[in-house]
Amino acid sequence: MATAQVKRAFRYRFHPTSEQAAELSRTFGCVRKVYNLALATRTEAWARQERVNYQQTSAMLTAWKKTEELAFLNEVSCVPLQQALRHLQTAFTHFFSKRAQYPRFKSKKKSRRSAEYTASAFRFRDGRLTLAKMTEPLDIVWSRPLPEEAKPSTVTVSQDAAGRWHVSLLCQDSAVQPLPATDTAVGVDVGLDHLLTLSTGEKVANPRHERRDRARLAKAQRSLARKAPGGGTNRRKARQKAAKIYARIADRRRDHLHKLTTRFVRDNQTIVIEDLAVCTMVKNRYLARVISDAAWAEFRRMLEYKAQWYGREVIAVDRFFPSSKRCSACGSVQNTMPLSVRAWTCACGTTHDRDVNAAKNILAVGLTAPVCGAGARPQRSTPGGRSAMKQKPLRREP
Residue range 32-86, pLDDT digits in tens: 999 999 999 999 999 999 989 999 999 999 999 999 999 999 999 999 999 999 9
Could you tell me which CATH number the domain at 185-207+257-372 has? 3.30.420
Name every residue whose Cβ is closer than 8 Å to that of residue 176 and which is 6 or more positions away in sequence.
Answer: 3, 6, 8, 309, 310
Ordered by start, the domain boundaries in the chain are 8-172, 185-207+257-372
What mean pLDDT is reported for the chain?
A: 89
The answer to whether residue 397 scores a pLDDT higher than 70 is no
Chain centre to alpha carbon of residue 337: 33
Q: What is the pLDDT of residues 280-310, one digit of tens each?
A: 999 988 999 999 999 999 999 999 999 999 9
Q: How far apart (Å, rounded) are the C-alpha atoms in residues 45 and 38?
A: 11
Instruction: State how far the Cα of 264 lies from the Cα of 128, in Å rounded to an integer.
Output: 36
Dump pLDDT digits (tens) for 357-378. Answer: 999 999 999 888 554 444 444 4
DSSP secondary structure string for all residues of 292-334: HHHTHHHHHHHHHHHHHHTT-EEEEE-TTS-TTTB-TTT--B-
CB-side exposure of 16: number of CA atoms within 13 Å? 20
> Residue 366: which of 135, 186, 183 has the closest Cα?
186
Phi, then psi, of 384 in degrees rounded to 5: 95, 0
- Write out the catalytic residue numbers: 189, 274, 355
Lowest-pLDDT range, 18-27, 172-181, 250-259? 172-181
Q: How far is residue 200's CA from residue 357's CA, in Å, rounded to a whole number?
A: 10
pTM metric for this prediction: 0.84
Contact yes or no for 23/76 (Cβ under 8 A): yes
Task: Judge whether residue 390 has pLDDT over 60.
Answer: no
Residues in CB range of 343: below 8 A, 6 or more apart: 351, 352, 353, 354
Question: How many Cα atoms occupy the beta-carbon half-sphere of 334 within 13 Å?
Answer: 21
What are the helix and strand counts (H, E) for the chain? Answer: 10, 14
Percent of the chain scoring above 70 in pLDDT: 91
